[in-house]
Amino acid sequence: MFALYEFYKLMNKASFTPHKTIGFICGATIYILIALHSFNWLPLHTLSIIFPLLVGIVIVELFRKQKSPISNIAFTVLSMIYIVMPLASLNYFAYYNPFNDEVHLYKNEYSLLLGFFIIVWSNDTGAYVFGRLFGKRKLFKRISPNKTWEGFIGGACVAVGSAILFAKSTDSSMFHWSIISSLIVIFGTLGDLTESQIKRSIGVKDASNFLPGHGGILDRFDGVLYAAPFVLTYFLIIKAESLI
């Protein structure tokens, strides 16, 4: 909810007015539905409720007298796709997730989620340290002048190394953890760049000052928003192949 608040506040600064109330209601509902399905408490078909909720955002905008209704609809729906669904997908990494028989990634209920975040944090830390020590070649100067190729490569090496160590310590699949770490490095970096682009286009440094030294929730989890759906997709592909 706080990530949504930060996103809507950023859009307000950009002179857009996404519908906050309907966004919070839809966001909470979508998150709860996905979470309950991940716990095996709801059948898969209940997730179809998400589509009427998204259409409802469009309908509500009909009754608002705003100058940019299309933009408001777009940013409210985007907040569901960009923030709510990726964070909700993390629930599939915890508890009795449906992937262990296929990918052999954990020994207890939380190892998969813990491993995911260890790799995310390792990538961020490695990229920062190597970037500060050796960074010369800009990765994406137009969007994020401080990011360098040296930092990206250093973060990738630390992330993959952390994944291998985690696999050994939990006696799980080194191959799958290596693939997961690669996905986290690539898409986590793209997620970071996306949020940087949003902030740069609006002219702000951080989404908020909620976390001292880190900025806001969006600043802290920008990489997770992209990495989590792709890691989940990888699990689903592996599971689908095992059923063929």
Is residue 114 located within the same domain as residue 186?
A: yes
pLDDT at site 172: 83
* pLDDT, tens digit (0-9, with 9 covering 90-100), for 97-121: 666 665 566 666 668 889 999 999 9
pLDDT at site 126: 96
* pLDDT, tens digit (0-9, with 9 covering 90-100), for 159-202: 999 999 998 988 888 998 999 999 999 999 999 999 989 998 89
Which residues 6+ apart lie within 8 Å of 122 measured at CB?
155, 158, 159, 161, 162
Model confidence at 4: pLDDT above 90? yes
Which among 68, 91, 114 is the end of a domain? 91
pLDDT at site 237: 86
Is residue 114 located within the same domain as residue 226?
A: yes
Which among 91, 124, 149 is the end of a domain? 91
Is residue 72 located within the same domain as residue 98?
A: no
Is residue 218 located within the same domain as residue 139?
A: yes
Give the confidence band of 243 by pLDDT, cuts at 50, 70, 90. Answer: low
pLDDT at site 134: 93
Is residue 144 located within the same domain as residue 45?
A: no
When divided into structural domains, the chain yields a total of 2
Main-chain phi, psi angles of 99, to 5 degrees: -105, -5
- Residue 210: name the closest of 9, 23, 2, 1 by CA: 2
Model confidence at 208: pLDDT above 90? no
HSE of 44 in the Cβ direction (CA atoms, 13 Å)?
A: 1
Is residue 4 located within the same domain as residue 80?
A: yes
Is residue 87 located within the same domain as residue 113?
A: no
Is residue 72 located within the same domain as residue 110?
A: no
- Residue 154: name the closest of 126, 188, 175 by CA: 126
pLDDT at site 108: 62
Is residue 43 located within the same domain as residue 102?
A: no
Give the domain extent around 123: 94-244
pLDDT at site 99: 63
- Rounded to an integer, the average pLDDT of 212-240 is 88
Is residue 220 located within the same domain as residue 183?
A: yes
Which among 29, 60, 91 is the end of a domain? 91
Secondary structure of the chain in HEC code, one letter for each residue: CHHHHHHHHHHHHCCCCCCHHHHHHHHHHHHHHHHHHHCCCCCHHHHHHHHHHHHHHHHHHCCCCCCCHHHHHHHHHHHHHHHHHHHHHHHHHCCCCCCHHHHCCCCCCCHHHHHHHHHHHHHHHHHHHHHHHHCCCEEECCCEEEEEHHHHHHHHHHHHHHHHHHHHHCCCCHHHHHHHHHHHHHHHHHHHHHHHHHHHHHCCCCCCCCECCCECHHHHHHHHHHHHHHHHHHHHHHHHHHHC
Is residue 56 located within the same domain as residue 87?
A: yes
- What is the rounded distance in angstroms from the CA atom of residue 61 to the CA atom of residue 136? 47
- What is the rounded distance in angstroms from the CA atom of residue 73 to the CA atom of residue 55? 10
Is residue 125 located within the same domain as residue 80?
A: no
Does the pTM of the predicted model rise above 0.85?
Answer: yes
Give the confidence band of 227 by pLDDT, cuts at 50, 70, 90. Answer: very high
